[in-house]
Amino acid sequence: MAGVLCYHGRVMRFRSRLLAAALCLVLGAPAAAFARLPDDPLLPEQWHLARVDAPGAWDVTTGTPAVIVAVLDTGVDVDHPDLRENIWTNPGEIAGDGLDNDGNGFADDVHGWNFADGNNRPVPDPAGPQTRAAMTHGTVVAGVIAAVGNNGEGVAGMAWRARIMPVRILDNEGSGFAHHAAVALRYAVRNGARVVNLSFTGPDMPSDLAAAVREAADAGVVIVAALGNASNGGDDVDAAPTYPACYKLLDGRDPIIGVAATDRQDAKAPFSNFGAGCADVAAPGADIFSTVLHDPEQEAFGGWYGGGWSGTSLAAPVVSGIVALLLSAYPSLTPPQVLDILRLSADPLADGTGAAAAGQAGVGRVNAARALQIAPSFVVAAETPEPGAAGEGGRLVRSNELPAVYYVDGEGRRRPFPNELTFFTWFEDFSTVETVSAAELAAWPLGAPMLPRPGTRWVKIQSDPKTYLVAPPEGTDPRPVLRWIRDEETARALGGDRWAERVMDVEPTYFPRFAFGPDIVGPEPGLLVGQTR
């Protein structure tokens, strides 16, 4: 497969192999400074941090060394002054003794492994054919994720204190083999990575890489992947998928967060690929300033920092860094919960091409501060079942002091109805609502809010453009199931010409109270189509 690399406007192609780094280099101007910042002197150059409200997220957490982010790339400059403090160190390995002390199959893998060259130095190789962009690519990505923050040096990453595990799978020209990606992913997972950044693309998904992705998903590892770049507005990857970003498991799970790139105007970047089936979210990926490879023996690598980097390769690590912040603050979050949080907290795209409205660049541009704000609502215990058709075993109550109506369930918890629409999916009128004193109302502990009764309303989660049918719980999970109605033609077939009247907005914080089922791509026998009241 031939990937495309743009360097100072001149197109250069990787030599034909299976995987290629999805990177374009475009020089750009520095961004303006913003408030509430650490003391890193080059932070004003990092416009993307303000755009995703990183300072607001940093009020909650700046990351923790317990969260390890594996960077499967061209290697990382592990001696960089703004990275070395955050480079992962294998606690079970003794440096330089030539032994595999921890028994993981790799001798002296103190800071990761080089699968491209088969050695323990996961750094760019100065020898042989090379391109400047490919050589420094992994170091740029690592800096976006976790350059040390507030150290008076250079720049800050999204997660100042997270650890970077360098895993080299691409050569000096940005090419590599799918087999190396598979074994590298297994290496990262088995050595403690919670997040894996994949800033490369390929034309297919070989079985060994697919198996490694499945194993990582089963282990609770969050995988973030670039959607890829192309000229003339980007490619539609729904029509011609790029991997691994577009890969789905056979059981329907989406194990990889596919990331499109946005520009300074919050529009889909002109080079970014797109496709509603592959792009989950978008992130800044144009004119990014970060750490770069430093090699005083080569004139092209004389500096420590550089800007003008553009591509979905840069957007993906922005998301990986936000994921590291989420897992630092809430380590129990699962990969599906992380994806839901990113989607629900995203800001709408300002895209005049139609990609934003169609969700072709994901649901929106990530917002780190809002993601940290709504994440606590996902750290919840399993919800109690909803009442029966007539609310058997419960009571409807309210007090004169409060306007809310509550359902008191069989376990004595008062569960509020968020609005009248939700109430009328369960009950015909207010005639059975009892008025009680405020003291009596307060004696019932507050429980989870009521959700629309399955089979009555369709829902749209605020900040998510998708419309879902609410289906009954399945198996042992008591939560109602959301099924995405994939297109308007299907919605009309299920709900008639006035299908939009069935849709009600639901607060983002309610999202984790639903489970998810398969998408609806057409009429199905016995499918609940909903009612209006």
Relative orientation angle of helices 335-344 and 312-329, to the nearest 10 degrees: 110
Cα–Cα dist 319/227, whole Å: 12
313 as an active site residue: the answer is yes
> Which tokens in the block code for residue 250?
């056979």
Cα–Cα dist 184/71, whole Å: 10
Residue with tokens 């490369």: 200
> Which tokens in the block code for residue 158?
């999204």
Cα–Cα dist 226/90, whole Å: 27
Query: Closest by alpha carbon to 481, among 525, 513, 507, 521?
Result: 513
Q: Which of 80, 137, 272, 310 is catalytic?
A: 137
Neighbour order of strands in the sheet with 23-25:
10-13, 4-7, 23-25, 305-310, 288-291
Pairing type for strands 23-25 and 305-310 reads antiparallel
DSSP state of 292: -
Cα–Cα dist 215/199, whole Å: 20
Neighbour order of strands in the sheet with 68-73:
113-114, 163-168, 68-73, 195-198, 222-226, 256-262, 281-284
Q: Which of 40, 53, 73, 109 is catalytic?
A: 73
409 as an active site residue: the answer is no
Query: Closest by alpha carbon to 92, among 74, 106, 80?
Result: 106
- Buried b / exposed e along 112-121 (16+ C-beta atoms within 10 A): bbbbbbebbb
> Which tokens in the block code for residue 225?
């992947």
> Which tokens in the block code for residue 153?
């040096």
Neighbour order of strands in the sheet with 175-176:
175-176, 19-21, 200-201
Return the SS3 of 530. Answer: coil
Cα–Cα dist 215/189, whole Å: 9
Q: Which of 199, 272, 313, 345 is catalytic?
A: 313
CA angle 356, 362, 365 (to 5 degrees): 80
| DSSP per residue, 54-88 | HHHHHTT----TT-EEEEEES---TT-TTTGGGB-
Pairing type for strands 68-73 and 195-198 reads parallel
Relative orientation angle of helices 178-190 and 207-218, to the nearest 10 degrees: 20
505 as an active site residue: the answer is no
Active-site residues: which are they? 73, 137, 313
